[in-house]
Chain A
Amino acid sequence: MRVWGNWRHARRGGLLCLGSAFAVPVGAEMQFNFPAPASPAARDIYDIHMLTMGITFVLLMIIYAIVCYSLFVHRKSRGATPDRTFHLSKFARWSWLMVPILVLGVDLTIAGSAENVLHQIWQVPKDEDMLEVKVVGHQWWWEFEYLDQKLNIESRALPPAKAGDHYLREVDNRLVLPTGTRIRFLHTSADVNHAFWIPELGMKKDAIAGYVTETWTVLDREGVFRGQCAELCGTWHAKMPVVVEAVSPEKFGAWVEDQRKVAAAAAAEAASDKVWSKEDLMERGRDAYNKNCAACHQLDGKGLPPAFPPLIAGQPFPAGADLTKPLADRGFFADGKIVLGTVDHHLDIIVHGIPGTAMQAWAQLNNLDIAAITTYERNAWGNDTGDVVQPADVEKARAASHTAAAQ
C-alpha cells in the first residue's frame, strides 16, 4: 500500500511541528492517511481534511504547551504560591467573551472553506448528460445497473483462496467505469441499510430501502479502487467489498459490448427448451449455489443456526418460531429438524422468498440457474432425493400464486 501525502511525517509523533523534514520509514503495509484521491471531489475532500487537521493540530499544540508550562511552573513542589485572586482579574472578567470570539473565528474559517467544497460535491449538476449507474445494496452483495447501457452486474466477494492479498476486498464482477466521464450514482437498497464507500473517490452514501439518493463523480485516473460497505447490514457486513475498475472510455465501450454478449448467451441458453441431464444441472447448480446461496446456507449446506437454516434433511435447526413456523408451513421443518418438502414448495421458496425473514425472493435468477440450484440442493450433502428439476418447472413455479405455499 502506498502512503500518500506528507501527513505521514506529521503523524509520526508530531514530527512536522518540530520542523523535522525526514520521512520515517514505515512498514510497507501501514497506511496513515487517506489513499490517493482519484476524483476532483476526493481531492477537495483531502484538502479540507488536511486544512482542518492542520488548524486543530496547531490549536492543540498551543493548548498543550500552555498546560505543560503550567504543570511545570505552577506546582507546589517548586514552592509556587497560588494566586487566589486570579479569577477576579480583568482577564477573568472578559475571558467569557474573548474565548468564544476566538473560537468562533476558528470555527468560521473551517466552516467557510467546508461550505465551498460542500456546494460543489453535494448537488449533482443537472445541466449535462451523465453515465447513470443504479447501485442496489443487498445482503450481502452489490447490484450495479448501468441504466443507459441496459446492463446489470452482480458483484460478490470472492472466497479467500481466490482473493489472495485482496482478502475481503476482491469481487467476481467489478464495477467498471470510464475515466473522464461524469458519472451519476443512484443509491438504494433491496433489504436493510448499506453504505457505498470508495475512499479513493471520496464518496460515501447510505443505501436505504424506499429511498433513492444520488452522488456523482468523475474519475481522473485509471486504476482499481477498493472500498466496502460502511453501514452495519447484518451477519456478513464485512464481506461486501466494492471494487471499482477505472478504464479508458474506449475500453469501457468494449467491456459493455462483451458483457452484453455474455448476458445474451446466458439468456438464450436459459430460455431454450433443452432438457438438461442431472449431471449438468448438478455441476451448474454447485456453482450457482456457491455464488448466490452459500453466504447464508454455507458451502456445506449446514447453514448458521439459529439465523440461517441448514438445507440438509435431518439436521436440527434450533431457532425461534418466527423462522421455524414458515418452514413448517412449507413442509421443510418438523420435530426440531429440517425435512425436505416437495419440489413445488422448494421452488416457491426460491422464487418468492419467505416474507418476514432474511430469505429474499430470487426471481431475478434465470430459470436454468434456479432449476440447477434446486436440483443441487435436493441431491447434495447426502440429501440424495434423485429429483431433477428442469427450467420449465421453474417457469410454472413463477406463474403459480405465492399464497399456495403458505397453506
Chain B
Amino acid sequence: MSTVTIHGHEVHDHSHATPTGWRRWLLSTNHKDIGTLYMIFALLMLFTGGLMAMLVRAELFMPGIQFLQPDLYNNMVTNHALIMVFGAVMPAAAGMANWMIPLMIGAPDMALPRLNNLSFWMLAAGGLLLICSIVVPFLPGGGTPVNTGWTLYPPLSLQVGMSMDLLIFTIHILGISSILASINIIVTLFNTRAPGMTLMKMPIFCWAWMVTAFLLILIMPALASGVTMLLFDRHFGTSFFNAAGGGDPVLFQHLFWFFGHPEVYVLLLPSMGIVAHIVPTFSRKPLFGYTSTVGAMISIGAIGMLVWAHHQYTIGMSLAAVTYFMIGTILISIPVGLMILNFIATMWRGAMSFETPMLFAIAIILLFTFAGMTGVMLAVIPGDIQYHDSYFVVAHFHYALIPGALFGLYAGVFFWLPKWTGHMYDEKLGKIFFWLTMIGFNLTFFPQHFLGLAGMPRRIVDYNLVFTEFNAISSIGAFIFGLSQILLPIIIIKTIRGGRKAGDKVWEAAEGLEWTLPSPPPFHTFSDPPVIK
C-alpha cells in the first residue's frame, strides 16, 4: 500500500542524546515517553476509581448501612465517576494518541512537544488536587465531603465544605490540560502528516482523535464557566444559581450537560477509532466504509453537541423544547448505527482470528450496540419519565462507557503492547482476562436494568427489601469484575519484562506506517518523512 523510507535511526542519536533518569520523565518532550506517562497515570487512577466502585457495591450488597455513612457513600459515587472519566479513560486515550498518532502519520513527534509535557504534568497536578479533595474531609476542620454526584448540581453543591472548592480547582486544571493536549493533537494532525497522506488517507484512529480534540476545545469552557460561577456563589456573594438572589439552579444543569453529553463522545470516539484498526487487522481485509466512518464520527460529534438537555427531561421544560431534544437524541442512532454496520461489514467475508484485541473488539460491537438500544429507549421522553435517575440509567451508561470506552482502550493496549515493548503479551492470560472481565461486567450491570424498571433510584445508600436479590447479584458480579482487573497490570508488567520477540509487523494483516517501524520503535522515529504513494 505505501512505500516507506526510514533513515537515520543510527545517525541521529548524536544530535539528540537520549536523556536518562528522572530528567527523562520529568522534562520529557518525547511523545513516546509522555504517552507512557499518561498511560501509567491512567492505570493508577483506574484502580483508585475501581476501588471506590468496589466500596459502593459492598455497601449495596444488602439493605441497611454497613460500611459507608451516607455522605461518604455519596462521595465515593462522586469520585468514582470523576476519577474514571477524568483520571482513567481520558488520560489513557490521550496516552495512546501521543504514542500512536506520530507513528501513524509519519511524524517525528507531536507538533508542540513542550506543550505536551505541560499538559501531562498539569494532569498529574490535577490528580493530586482531586486526591486532596477526597482526603480533606477526614482532617479536623475539613468540612463535609462532596456528596453531590459528579454532576455537582447546586444548591446541594453550595452546602458542601472546602472539598468542593478543591474539586472546582481540580476541574479547572484538568480542563486546561485537556485543552492543551487537544490543541497539540489538532496541530499535529493538520501540519505534520507525511507527504502524500491527505486527510482522507489518514488512519481512522487519527480521525477519531481529531473529532475528539475539537469536541474537547468546544465543551471544556462550558464546564469551567459553570464551576467558576459555582465558586463565586460559594464565596463571593453572587447568586448565579441561587433563586433567592435572582439566579437559576437550572442554568448550571444546562452548562454542565452542554459539557457532559459531548464528553460521552470524547470518551467513546478514541476507542471506536481503535476498534476500526483492530477489526480489519484480524478480519484480514480493509475497513469497510472508511469515508462513511469518518463522516459518522464527525456527525456524532456535531449532533452530540446539540442534544444535552435529554439529561434534564424532568426539570419542566416546554413541550417544544423536550420534543426537539428527544428527536435530536434519537437521530444520533443514525451515525452510530452506520459506524457499527461498518465494523460488522468489515468482519463479513473476512478470515477472522480471535486474539485478545479482536475478542475485545467483538465484545464492544455486541455490548455497545445493546447500550445504543437502551439509549434509544431513554431518549423517548414518556419512557424516560420512568427511567430517569433510576438504576436503568446506571446500567445503560455503564454498558455504553465500559465497552464503548474502557474495553476499547484495553483492546488498544493488547493491540499495541507488542509494538510499545517489543514483546508479545501472554495470549493465554489475555484470553483469561477477557472472559473473566466479560462475565464480571455483565453480571454486574445487566441486573441493574431490572432494578431501575422496578423503581430503584440511583445514588441511594440504602434500599427497600424488594431490590435485595438483584443488588446482591450485581455486587458479586462487581467483585469478580474488580478482582479480574488485577490481571491487566500483571500482563503488562510481564510483557515489559520479557516474552517472545515481536517483529516490525506484529500482526499478520496489520497495515499502516506504525508497523513499518521496529518493535519497540527507537526513541526518535521518522526524522525523514516517509512518502505515501
Residues of A within 8 A of B (CB): 1, 11, 27, 29-35, 44-45, 48-49, 52-53, 56-57, 59-60, 63-64, 66-67, 70-71, 74-77, 80-84, 86-87, 91-92, 95-96, 99-100, 103-104, 106-107, 110-111, 114-115, 117-119, 121-123, 165-169, 187, 191-193, 195, 197, 199, 202-206, 208-211, 213-214, 226-239, 304, 306-307, 318-324, 336, 357-358
Contacts and interface: CB of A to CB of B under 8 A. Distances in A.
B521 interface: no
A197 B141 CA distance: 37
B348 interface: yes
A199 B374 contact: no
Nearest to B450: A32
A111 B326 contact: yes
A31 B352 CA distance: 41
Given A239-B462, A320-B142, 13 more contacts: A11-B450, A29-B465, A59-B373, A63-B340, A63-B344, A75-B351, A87-B286, A87-B345, A103-B338, A107-B334, A121-B385, A307-B71, A318-B141
Interface string B450-462: 1001110111111
B351 A76 contact: yes
Contacts of A166: 464
B381 A107 contact: no
B376 interface: yes
B471 to A, nearest CB: 11
B248 interface: yes
Contact of A52 (B334, B335, B337, B376): B376
Contacts of A57: 373
B128 interface: no
Contact of A87 (B141, B287, B373, B385): B287
A45 B272 CA distance: 34
B460 to A, nearest CB: 4
A80 B284 CA distance: 10
> What 4 A-B pairs come out closest when comparing CB atoms?
A210-B243, A213-B316, A320-B143, A96-B292
Given A35-B455, A44-B382, A110-B376, A238 B462 contact: yes
B156 A232 contact: yes
B388 interface: yes
B373 A358 contact: no
A114 B382 contact: yes
B126 to A, nearest CB: 23
Interface in B431-466: 450, 453-455, 457-466
Interface in B52-106: 63, 69-71, 74
B159 A192 contact: yes
Contacts, number: 324
Interface string B349-374: 11111100000001001100110011
Nearest to B70: A235
B327 interface: yes
Nearest to A191: B155
B484 interface: no
B532 interface: no
B331 interface: yes
B140 A32 contact: no
Interface in B102-147: 137, 140-144, 147
Contacts of B463: 168, 238
Given A27-B469, A70-B348, A104-B334, A32 B453 contact: yes
A202 B290 CA distance: 44
Given A92-B288, A103-B333, A1 B380 contact: no
Interface residues of B, number: 101
Contacts of B69: 304
B352 A92 contact: no
Nearest to B341: A99
B330 A48 contact: no
Q: What secondary structure prevails in chain B residues at the interface with A?
A: helix
A32 B340 CA distance: 29
Nearest to A63: B369
B289 A92 contact: yes
A311 B189 CA distance: 63
A232 B74 contact: yes
A13 B249 CA distance: 43
Nearest to A164: B465
A30 B470 contact: yes
Contact of B376 (A32, A56, A336): A56
14 contacts: A32-B450, A33-B454, A60-B373, A75-B351, A83-B350, A95-B342, A96-B292, A107-B334, A168-B464, A169-B464, A191-B155, A193-B153, A199-B454, A306-B161
Contacts of B347: 67, 70-71, 74
A170 B51 CA distance: 33
A233 to B, nearest CB: 7
A59 to B, nearest CB: 7
Nearest to A102: B337
B148 interface: yes
Nearest to B143: A320
B147 A80 contact: no
A114 B374 CA distance: 15
B319 interface: yes
A319 B350 CA distance: 64
B309 interface: no
A33 B377 CA distance: 14
Contact of A99 (B153, B287, B337): B337
A96 B457 contact: no
Q: Which interface residue of A123, A322, A324 has the most chain B CB atoms within 10 A?
A: A322
Contact of A230 (B322, B338, B389): B389
Contacts of A323: 143, 161
A87 B71 contact: no
B527 interface: no
B146 to A, nearest CB: 11
B349 A52 contact: no
A96 B159 contact: no
A326 B271 CA distance: 51
A214 B316 CA distance: 8
A385 B98 CA distance: 69
B170 interface: no
B283 A67 contact: no
B510 interface: no
Contacts of B338: 95-96, 99-100, 103
Contact of B319 (A122, A233, A236): A122
A193 B155 contact: yes
A123 B319 contact: yes
B291 interface: yes
Interface in B415-442: none
A111 B380 contact: yes
